[in-house]
Each structure stands twice: as structure tokens, then as C-alpha cells.
């Protein structure tokens, strides 16, 4: 087997990291560089549409050791710009595996860089925040120029690049749910499909079109980027409130808050991982959660809603529940794809909300 070509990762602030090119062959790819702390679930992370516009750094040392399988895809194709790893396993070992991660990345058109000192990179991102970067086999000057030209995610409607083009049905449960696709994950649809027949609709679907379907509930999915840049979403949600029960996750949580008059802000390096402790305010219980977001709801900005969950690492608002209308949301991922299952009860709460109706 031929040795992989040498490659560089260059950040917009001038930091340089050496490695070797893996995955799809490219001279230059650029994006906002973030890090994820999951120990397993790399395929689910890479196929999560919430990573549109971003380069994913895995902090876990060995990536790819159990291969890949189509059963773990969260979307039909990856939306991330690339992946950065310390050690890409050359030999896969798992009975579920159909292929190696390297071969799958090449087939999916996702470039990668391996052999990087991800500990140094992660420490730098922790201090400097998520920054634009570029990697590939091009020379350092070309990569630095590409990194500095990368616009990042602020003010960019990345949802438009990952939402479905037309409505489609999923699941066969007894109720009817309309799910807004801001970048919806397959695991979310599996959970919702046990409760309802789910019609997934594009992000631009109007409130009137949703209500014409006479749903028992409306689901607001996860998705990438800046919630303030998702054209028309918060206005549509505002017109649904009080007329149908609403449940939001991740970007859906931020958009629900915006529909209620709240504001959002960008975190320094975001929450990306599978072990974030979150306190449930009502009981004091601590849930270990899966998270993937760079923006958050500003505390105290949402009138008419109570904070239901709080991140114990940094105090970020992790959940809200409306006082006067049947609607609630959480910032983290209760569907756990990948991650712990501590918060799956939230799907049962959505079912209870639909039982009571608007």
C-alpha cells in the first residue's frame, strides 16, 4: 500500500499542523474548525447535517477502528467539509462493519487529514475559539489564504444546503406529526416514527401549509449554523404556537426561542460531544447528554417560557417550556445518535403534549 501524501492544516490565525491526506483527494478544503469529544459514533457525527460548513476534529485518539455501516448513517450524505484525526485505523474490526472509514470517506467525497496532533489543536481551539481553517496537499501559503478567505458560519443560511427538496413520509405511528427539516437526523425520525406517521417538510414550508395537514404535533429538527440566518423559520413557528403542540431539538430549540422573542449568541467553541452534564431543573436530576451546536439561547431573553434544563459545564440554557402554549425544546440531542439515552423521555413528553392537544 502506497504511503499517503503529506498534508497540512492551516488555521486563519497562522497555526500550522502537519499530517497526511486521507479520504477524498483534494488540494484545498476550508471550513470552520471545531472539535468533538465522542469516543465512538464517528460515522453518526460525520453524517450529521448540523456540521455543514465545518471541519470536524476528533479528540479521541483512534478513529475508524470499527469501520462503517450504512445502518449508522444519519443522512444520505455527509455535509461537513472534512475531518481531522490523530490516528486513522487501517484495520477495521467489528461484525457490523461493511467497509473502512478511509474508503467510505473517499466514496462520500469527504477529505481528511490524519496524523495531526489533535491534542495541541484542541487546546488551541479551546483558547482561540472555533476558527476558519483549510487543509490539503497544497502549499502552506495557499492553505493560509483559503483559511483567511473562509467566511465561517455567522450570518450564513446553512440550512438551505441540507434541507429536503420536497416533503416525504417516515414512520408508521398512530398520530400525525409534521417535522421541519432543518437538517434532520435519521435517529430522530426513528424515535418519532414510533409515535406517529411523520411528514418531513422543507425548512421553507409556511405555517399555513403545515396547519393544512392537520397534524397532532410539529417537530423542529436540529440543523447547522446561525439560527438568525434561517430565513422565515422563526416567523413560521410563531404562527404555529398555540395552534398545535411543538417540540424542538438543537437548532429547533433556538428557532423556537427566537419565535418567542428570544435572542441567540455564538459560543466560543461550541458544544460537540457525548458526555455533557445537564441538570433538569424540575427534579435536580443530572442527565449525560449528546450535543452538537455552536449557538445558544441567551438566558433571560425568552419571555413567556421557563428554563427547564441547564448545562452544568458553563450554565448555558439547555431547555425551555412555554407557560401559555403547548411547546417546549431542548438544546441537546435526546435521540442519542451517538450518545447516552438519559433524555429519551422527552419523546414521551411530546406524545403526552399531543395527547392533551393545543
Catalytic residue IDs:
250, 333, 335
DSSP string, 172-203: --SEEEEEEESS--HHHHHHHHTTEEEEEEET
Segment (H or E) for 56: strand 54-58
How many CB atoms are closer than 10 A to CB 254?
Answer: 30
What grid cell was written down for 198?
411523520
- Burial string for 67-92 (b: 16+ CB within 10 Å, else e) reads bbeeebbbbeebbbbbbbbbbbbeeb
Interaxial angle between packed helices 233-240 and 251-259, expressed in degrees from 0 to 180 and rounded to the nearest 10: 70
| Cα gap 166→197, rounded to integer Å | 17
Among candidates 155, 126, 123, 58, which has minimal Cα distance to 268? 126
How many CB atoms are closer than 10 A to CB 344?
Answer: 12
**Alpha helix positions (H), 56-117:** 101-108
Q: Are 45 and 38 in contact (CB under 8 A)?
A: yes
| Cα gap 260→244, rounded to integer Å | 15
DSSP string, 216-284: SEEEE----S-GGGSTTHHHHHHHHTTTS-EEEETHHHHHHHHHTT--EEEEEEEEEEEEEEEEETTT-
DSSP string, 314-339: T--EEEEEESSSSEEEESS-TT-SSS
Angle subtended at Cα 253 by Cα 249 and Cα 254, rounded to the nearest 5 degrees:
140
Amino acid at each position: 500500500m502506497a504511503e499517503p501524501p503529506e498534508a497540512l492544516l492551516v488555521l486563519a490565525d497562522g497555526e500550522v499542523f502537519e499530517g497526511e491526506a486521507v479520504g477524498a483527494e483534494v488540494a484545498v478544503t476550508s471550513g470552520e474548525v471545531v472539535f468533538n469529544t465522542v469516543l465512538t459514533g464517528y460515522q453518526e457525527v460525520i453524517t450529521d447535517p448540523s456540521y455543514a460548513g465545518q471541519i470536524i476534529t476528533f479528540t479521541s485518539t483512534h478513529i475508524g477502528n470499527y469501520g462503517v455501516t450504512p445502518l449508522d448513517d444519519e443522512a444520505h450524505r455527509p455535509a461537513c467539509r472534512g475531518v481531522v484525526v490523530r490516528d486513522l485505523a487501517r484495520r477495521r474490526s467489528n461484525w457490523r462493519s461493511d467497509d473502512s472509514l478511509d474508503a467510505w470517506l473517499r466514496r462520500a467525497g469527504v477529505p481528511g487529514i490524519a496524523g495531526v496532533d489533535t491534542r495541541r489543536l484542541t487546546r488551541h481551539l479551546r483558547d482561540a475559539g472555533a476558527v476558519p481553517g483549510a487543509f490539503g496537499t497544497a502549499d502552506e501559503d495557499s492553505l493560509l489564504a483559503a483559511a483567511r478567505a473562509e467566511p465561517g458560519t455567522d450570518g450564513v443560511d446553512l440550512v438551505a444546503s441540507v434541507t429536503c427538496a420536497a416533503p416525504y413520509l417516515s414512520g408508521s405511528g398512530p398520530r400525525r406529526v409534521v417535522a421541519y427539516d432543518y437538517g434532520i437526523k435519521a435517529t430522530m425520525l426513528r424515535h418519532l416514527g414510533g409515535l406517529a406517521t411523520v411528514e418531513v417538510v422543507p425548512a421553507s414550508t409556511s405555517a399555513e401549509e403545515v396547519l393544512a395537514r392537520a397534524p397532532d404535533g410539529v417537530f423542529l429538527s436540529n440543523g447547522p449554523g446561525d439560527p438568525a440566518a434561517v430565513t422565515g423559520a422563526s416567523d413560521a413557528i410563531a404562527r404555529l404556537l398555540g395552534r398545535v403542540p411543538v417540540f424542538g431539538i438543537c437548532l429547533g430549540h433556538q428557532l423556537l426561542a427566537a419565535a418567542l422573542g428570544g435572542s441567540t449568541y455564538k459560543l466560543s467553541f461550541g458544544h460537540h460531544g457525548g458526555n455533557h452534564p445537564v441538570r433538569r431543573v424540575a427534579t435536580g436530576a443530572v442527565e449525560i447528554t449528546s450535543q452538537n451546536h455552536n449557538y445558544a439561547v441567551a438566558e433571560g431573553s425568552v419571555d413567556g417560557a421557563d428554563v427547564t434544563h441547564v448545562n452544568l459545564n458553563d450554565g448555558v440554557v439547555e431547555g425551555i417550556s412555554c407557560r401559555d402554549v403547548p411547546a417546549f425544546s431542548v438544546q441537546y440531542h435526546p435521540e442519542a445518535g451517538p450518545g447516552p439515552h438519559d433524555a429519551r423521555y422527552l419523546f414521551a413528553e411530546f406524545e403526552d403534549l399531543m395527547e392533551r392537544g393545543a
